[in-house]
């Protein structure tokens, strides 16, 4: 089937992103725009419209108004997803040769930014939930240990990155973490792609937003956690640790010269939605519905794990010995489409649309999955990656990625330097970063990850050619 027909097909129950649920939750103002003659709205950056980097025009006004509304100093809309804005933000607060502190669960876009900006990622490990093999949010005590184990002098590090919440909706309190990082003299960029709705004050039980926790730069994906189209995002800036001119220069370096007016309009309408009492009421209803649904499903015996975002349902299929990837493969042809299958869980994104009959649908899906995979015990505990609490790649990421390389079977990669990211998607969190050396323990762990992730992980791996000269060591290392 061709793409155009595929897009018109009914694929089943939408429990995936974008959060607008195939248009069901798109704001009315945006729907009215789409009702105009097709393509009518596809305009260039005319003076009265402008773009994210123009100081005048409707886009500039909307950005300023959005920033004022949330108490930020500046806002920039993005048309290349959270990816584009995270990369622009990171490049704005660093210079080539510097290092950045970031967690091991950073999205691949941030590692790619390190590559573009010739930065050294100082990667720190996170608390590990071994019943499901996922990272948990860190707390201040954990971060203090990380800061005590830095492999580089503090001054070699230019900035810090945090991820909040995770894809599965796990979140903690960022305020003390940001305070600790600011005390080191670093600006803090938070990837809050999955937590745009935390910025509303509609629900006291939602975690506090990164912006209200004092972050200097925060990226929201408006398709993941608001009612925007795919690729819409916003970058917020506050305080005086970051120079907005550098952010603008950085966005200008990476952004298309023809930002889509449709996507920009979608950014505006998604953010406006939560400036109106009606939009906020709708969000509150979705959050209440989701909590109610979770409670009822748990009562019916579905093992839903606890998290901090009611709009993400994390079903622990591993509790009955079924991999989340197998469960997803079982449900997908039966019309139940999840967002994030992982080795022990399936995460459903409820998004912002109303779901009629979902409780019954999920109960039935669970019963049919169980009866198709009877008599299994719970999965064994997952093992964390054999990594130090904090570490840096052996070689510069940019040099390893650009080096002459070859592809070898995992079994033959011991002692070699990785030349590419190894990264199941979703969630897009790298298991291996270019420049990291593959010691025996890491390789054995990767081999076991292949059993868990199946085809998502390669059998062969790209490594730096042995004949390549050893490049200069990464910042301050060696
Ligand atoms: C935590 C996180 N940050 C950033 C991104 C990138 O978002 P986008 O795909 O909108 O560019 C993702 C995508 O999965 C993500 O999960």
Residues 6+ apart with CB under 8 A from 459: 409, 410, 450
Cα(194) to centroid(ligand 1), Å: 8
Ligand 1 atom showing the smallest separation from residue 83 Cα:
11
Whether the CB-CB separation of 426 and 82 falls below 8 Å is answered with no
Whether the CB-CB separation of 131 and 303 falls below 8 Å is answered with no
DSSP-derived secondary structure for 152-195: S-GGGEEEEEEE-S-TT------HHHHHHHHHTT--EEEE-TT-
Please tell me if the CB atom of residue 78 comes closer than 6 angstroms to any atom of ligand 1: no
User: CA of 412: how far to CAs of 379, 402, 437, 447, in Å?
Assistant: 30, 21, 13, 12
**How many C-beta atoms lie closer than 10 Å to residue 411's C-beta?**
10
Please tell me if the CB atom of residue 167 comes closer than 6 angstroms to any atom of ligand 1: yes
Please tell me if the CB atom of residue 225 comes closer than 6 angstroms to any atom of ligand 1: no
* pTM of this structure: 0.97
Nearest by Cα to 217 from 93, 133, 121, 134: 93
Q: What is the largest CA-CA distance in the chain?
A: 66
Write phi, then psi, for 61 (nearest 5 degrees): -65, -45
Please tell me if the CB atom of residue 163 comes closer than 6 angstroms to any atom of ligand 1: yes
3-state secondary structure of 151: coil
Nearest by Cα to 248 from 26, 414, 89, 137: 89
Cα(193) to centroid(ligand 1), Å: 6
pLDDT values of the chain reduced to their tens digit, one per residue, 478 residues: 899 999 999 888 889 999 999 999 999 999 999 999 999 999 999 999 999 999 999 999 999 999 999 999 999 999 999 999 999 999 999 999 999 999 999 999 999 999 999 999 999 999 999 999 999 999 999 999 999 999 999 999 999 999 999 999 999 999 999 999 999 999 999 999 999 999 998 999 999 999 999 999 999 999 999 999 999 999 999 999 999 999 999 999 999 999 999 999 999 999 999 999 999 999 999 999 999 999 999 999 999 999 999 999 999 999 999 999 999 999 999 999 999 999 999 999 999 999 999 999 999 999 999 999 998 899 999 999 999 999 999 999 999 999 999 999 999 999 999 999 999 999 999 999 999 999 999 999 999 999 999 888 989 999 999 877 665 545 554 3
Tens digits of per-residue pLDDT, 88-139?
A: 999 999 999 999 999 999 999 999 999 999 999 999 999 999 999 999 999 9
* Best residue among 193, 228, 230 to mutate for probing ligand 1, ranked by most atoms within 8 Å of CB: 193
What is the separation of C-alpha 460 from the centre of its chain, rounded to a whole number of angstroms?
26
Whether the CB-CB separation of 397 and 434 falls below 8 Å is answered with yes
Cα(471) to centroid(ligand 1), Å: 31
Tens digits of per-residue pLDDT, 325-375?
A: 999 999 999 999 999 999 999 999 999 999 999 999 999 999 999 999 998
Nearest by Cα to 222 from 192, 256, 252, 177: 192
For the chain, domains (ranges, CATH) are: 28-273 (3.40.640.10), 283-372 (3.90.1150.150), 393-464 (3.90.100.10)
Please tell me if the CB atom of residue 230 comes closer than 6 angstroms to any atom of ligand 1: no
Ligand 1 atom showing the smallest separation from residue 105 Cα:
1
Please tell me if the CB atom of residue 429 comes closer than 6 angstroms to any atom of ligand 1: no
């Amino acid at each position: 089937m061709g793409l155009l027909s595929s897009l018109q097909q009914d694929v089943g129950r939408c429990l995936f992103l974008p959060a607008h649920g195939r248009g069901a939750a798109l704001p009315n103002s945006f729907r009215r725009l789409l009702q105009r003659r097709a393509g009518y709205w596809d305009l260039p950056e005319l003076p009265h419209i402008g773009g994210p980097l123009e100081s005048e025009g409707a886009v500039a006004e909307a950005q300023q108004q959005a920033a004022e509304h949330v108490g930020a100093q500046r806002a920039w809309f993005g048309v290349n997803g959270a990816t584009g804005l995270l990369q622009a933000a990171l490049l704005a607060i660093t210079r080539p040769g510097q290092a950045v502190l970031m967690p091991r669960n950073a999205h691949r876009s941030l590692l790619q930014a390190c590559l573009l900006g010739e930065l050294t990622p100082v990667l720190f490990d996170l608390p590990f939930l071994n019943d499901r093999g996922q990272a948990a949010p860190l707390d201040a005590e954990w971060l203090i240990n990380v800061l005590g184990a830095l492999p580089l002098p503090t001054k070699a590090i230019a900035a810090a990155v945090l991820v909040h919440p995770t894809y599965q909706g796990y979140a903690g309190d960022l305020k003390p973490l940001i305070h600790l990082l600011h005390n080191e003299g670093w600006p803090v960029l938070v990837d809050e792609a999955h937590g745009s709705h935390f910025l509303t004050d509609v629900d006291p039980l939602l975690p506090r937003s990164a912006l209200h926790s004092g972050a200097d730069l925060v990226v929201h994906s408006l398709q993941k956690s608001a009612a925007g189209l795919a690729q819409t995002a916003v970058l917020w800036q506050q305080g005086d640790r970051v120079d907005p001119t550098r952010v603008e220069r950085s966005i200008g370096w990476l952004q298309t010269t023809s930002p889509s007016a449709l996507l920009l309009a979608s950014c505006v309408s998604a953010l406006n939605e939560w400036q109106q009492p009606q939009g906020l009421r709708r969000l509150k209803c979705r959050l209440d519905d989701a909590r109610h649904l979770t409670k009822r499903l748990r009562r019916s015996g579905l093992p839903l794990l606890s998290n901090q975002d009611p709009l993400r349902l994390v079903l622990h299929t591993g509790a009955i010995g079924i991999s989340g990837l197998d469960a997803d493969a079982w449900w997908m042809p039966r019309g139940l489409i999840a967002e994030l299958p992982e080795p022990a869980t399936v995460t459903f994104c409820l998004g912002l649309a109303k779901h009629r009959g979902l409780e019954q649908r999920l109960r039935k899906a669970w019963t049919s999955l169980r009866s198709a995979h009877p008599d299994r015990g719970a999965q064994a505990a997952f093992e964390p990656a054999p990594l130090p609490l904090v570490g840096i790649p052996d070689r510069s990421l940019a040099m390893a990625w650009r080096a002459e390389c070859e592809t070898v079977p995992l079994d033959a990669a011991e002692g070699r330097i990785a030349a590419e990211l190894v990264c199941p998607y979703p969630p897009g969190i790298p298991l291996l970063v270019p420049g990291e050396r593959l010691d025996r323990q890491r390789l054995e762990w990767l081999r076991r990850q292949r059993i868990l992730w199946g085809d998502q992980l390669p059998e062969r791996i790209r490594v730096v050619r042995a004949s390549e000269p050893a490049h200069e060591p990464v910042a301050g290392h060696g």
